[in-house]
């Protein structure tokens, strides 16, 4: 009951955000439209617009520079008012960026960084890199409004703490938002890397799609699930773990997780590389496999196409169970041309129920290796532009303006 009362209280206190909520669509609005849509009096809308313009998140639009002394007639969201840090940590690499509130990348960097060095080292790098990128983008430290961070493991999203992440020693239950937030002085949002890739693909390229699954195919295989317009993290943040689903051809293949026949042990990059070596083709890493496919090596093409079929079996299951309208294939192997997609489509359209695939699109990621930072940016911007954050900023403005 406490939570319900608290959230009701928040809902009811959101007076400034009632107007801001309308402007979040990014379109220019006239004052009259805002009055009509909000049901608020013109004087109320005017005073709320004043607050939002002072906060910088809304600005006069188009003919706002009218010379006749009349107030500007159009207002719109001002995405460049603030910036966010957007960081995607992988097992051995990290990508960091600063973006505006609409996800426009103002600067980015990609570096080798081993997540197994532990949170102290890695989060120091994150903080320093965001500060450096801010400087290079000519933005003041005060312009930073939040940081979004993706990590390669399950996360309890409400607290931002990783939970039993298998490849992140030292990070279990670590207070990532607390540590990084104290260092940078802004809210920090944390989620699993594939979840933020799903967010990034959707926010940038598929904003109209409410039921989307983003599948990352690389050394590991995982998925971010958006259903009914919301990211579905599951009860303990591990939803989308398709790498350890058993596939029918998997008998006798033991996975690093200890189980038999897991998809990842058959269709992940290292498994493909191992089969290529058995066939006399030198390949060690997922990157090697991608290079071979791009170079037209027939054995590699054949193996990747077969991996697509194995993946297709699990994606067909996901289509039946979750009924998405779009499945996006990303990750290093997902970007290796049409061979993986061809094998995948072959099996999905054969295996899924007609009702589940009648309107199902299977597409390659457009965001590619920017999916992670675009999603981290979207997650951070969503927080900055949330009604709660706007109300809180408006309240601070009022307090600091008081005599």
Do the Cβ atoms of 367 and 196 come closer than 8 Å?
Answer: no
- With H, G, I as helix, E, B as strand and everything else as coil, classify residue 94: strand
Q: CB under 8 A: which stretch of 17-25, 81-89, 200-208, 283-291 binds its own copies?
A: 17-25
Please report whether residue 355 would count as binding its own copies according to CB under 8 A: yes
Burial class (CB in 10 A: 0-12, 13-18, 19+), 400: exposed
Smallest separation, CB 126 to its own copies (Å): 25
- 351 binds its own copies, rule: CB under 8 A: yes
**Does 232 contact its own copies by CB under 8 A?**
yes
Could you give the 3-state DSSP secondary structure of residue 75?
strand
In the complex, the smallest distance separating the C-beta of residue 13 from its own copies, rounded to whole angstroms, is: 6
Backbone angles phi, psi at 29, to 5 degrees: -125, 145
Long-range contacts from 55-63, C-beta under 8 angstroms, 24+ separation: 55/81, 55/390, 55/393, 55/394, 55/397, 56/81, 56/82, 57/20, 57/81, 57/82, 57/101, 57/385, 57/390, 58/20, 58/23, 61/28, 62/28
42 contacts its own copies (rule: CB under 8 A):
no
Q: Is residue 401 close enough to count as binding its own copies by CB under 8 A?
A: no
Binding residues for its own copies restricted to 61-120, rule: CB under 8 A = none
Per-position x/- string for 180-219, each x denoting binding to its own copies as judged by CB under 8 A, each - no binding: ------------------------------xx--------
Q: Which of 358, 399, 400, 402 binds its own copies (CB under 8 A)?
A: 358
**Greatest CA separation for the chain:** 80
241 binds its own copies (CB under 8 A): yes
- Is 85 or 222 the residue whose CB approaches its own copies more closely? 222
Residue 302 Cβ vs its own copies, minimum distance, rounded to whole Å: 23
Of residues 312 through 341, those in contact with its own copies by CB under 8 A are 313-314, 316-318, 320-325
Considering the complex, state which of residue 27 and residue 92 has its C-beta at the smaller distance from its own copies.
27
Residues 311, 222: contact at Cβ < 8 Å?
Answer: no
The tokens for 65 are: 């520079």
CA 289/CA 270 separation, integer angstroms: 9
Considering only 139, 161, 246, 345, the residue that binds its own copies (CB under 8 A) is: 246
Helix (H, G, I), strand (E, B), or coil: what is residue 279?
A: coil
Q: Which helix (H) or strand (E) holds 267?
A: helix 263-267
Inter-helix orientation angle 42-55/31-38, to 10°? 110
Compute the least distance from the CB of residue 261 to its own copies, in Å: 7
Binding its own copies by CB under 8 A: which of 173, 359, 396, 398? Answer: 359
- Residues 91 and 115 sit within 8 Å (Cβ to Cβ): yes
Q: Binding its own copies by CB under 8 A: which of 77, 199, 223, 380?
A: 223
Residue among 255 and 273 whose Cβ is closer to its own copies: 255
Closest separation in Å from C-beta 33 to its own copies: 8
Told to check if 236 binds its own copies by CB under 8 A, we report yes
**Token representation of residue 3:** 């939570």
Query: What span, in angstroms and rounded, lies between the C-alpha atoms of 365 and 387?
Result: 31
| CB closer to its own copies out of 46 and 325 | 325
Q: Does 356 bind its own copies (CB under 8 A)?
A: yes
Collapsing DSSP to helix, strand or coil, 163 comes out as coil
- Residue 47 in the binding site for its own copies (CB under 8 A): no
Should residue 257 be labelled a site residue for its own copies when binding is judged by CB under 8 A?
Answer: yes
Binding site for its own copies (CB under 8 A): 1, 4-5, 8-9, 11-13, 18, 21-22, 25, 27, 37-40, 154, 163-164, 210-211, 223, 225, 227-228, 230, 232-242, 244-246, 248, 250-251, 257, 259, 261, 313-314, 316-318, 320-325, 350-353, 355-356, 358-360
């Amino acid at each position: 009951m406490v939570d319900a009362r608290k959230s009701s209280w928040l809902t009811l206190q959101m007076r400034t955000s009632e107007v801001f909520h309308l402007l979040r669509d990014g379109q220019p609005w006239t004052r009259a439209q805002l009055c009509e849509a909000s049901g608020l009096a013109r004087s109320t809308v005017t005073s709320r617009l004043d607050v939002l313009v002072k906060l910088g998140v809304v600005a006069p639009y188009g003919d706002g520079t009218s010379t006749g002394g009349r107030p500007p007639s159009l207002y719109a969201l001002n995405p460049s008012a603030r910036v966010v840090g957007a960081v995607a940590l992988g097992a051995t690499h990290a990508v960091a960026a600063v973006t505006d509130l609409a996800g426009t990348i103002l600067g980015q960097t990609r570096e080798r960084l081993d997540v197994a060095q532990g949170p102290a080292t890695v989060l120091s790098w994150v903080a320093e890199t965001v500060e450096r990128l801010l400087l290079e983008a000519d933005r003041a430290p005060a312009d930073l409004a939040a940081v979004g961070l993706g990590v390669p493991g399950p996360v309890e999203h409400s607290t931002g703490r990783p939970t039993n992440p298998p490849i992140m020693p030292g990070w279990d239950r670590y207070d990532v938002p607390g540590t990084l937030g104290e260092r940078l002085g802004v809210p920090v949002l944390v989620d699993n890397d594939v979840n933020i890739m799903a967010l990034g693909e959707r926010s940038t390229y598929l904003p109209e799609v409410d039921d989307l699954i983003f599948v990352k195919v690389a050394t590991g295989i995982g998925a971010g699930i958006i259903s009914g317009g919301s990211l579905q993290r599951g009860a303990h943040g591990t939803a989308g773990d398709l790498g350890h689903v058993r596939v029918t051809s998997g008998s006798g293949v033991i996975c690093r997780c200890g189980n038999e026949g897991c998809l990842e042990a058959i269709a992940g990059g290292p498994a493909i590389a191992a089969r290529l070596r058995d066939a006399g083709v030198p390949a060690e890493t997922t990157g090697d496999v991608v290079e071979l496919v791009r170079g037209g090596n027939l054995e590699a093409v054949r193996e990747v196409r077969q991996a697509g079929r194995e993946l297709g079996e699990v994606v067909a299951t996901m289509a039946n169970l979750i009924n998405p309208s779009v499945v996006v294939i990303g990750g290093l192997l997902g970007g290796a041309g049409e061979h993986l997609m061809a094998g995948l489509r072959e099996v999905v359209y054969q295996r899924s129920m007609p009702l589940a695939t009648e309107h199902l699109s299977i597409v390659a990621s457009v965001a590619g290796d920017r999916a992670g930072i675009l999603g981290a940016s979207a997650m951070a911007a969503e927080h900055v532009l949330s009604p709660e954050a706007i109300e809180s900023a408006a309240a601070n403005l009022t307090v600091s303006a008081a005599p």
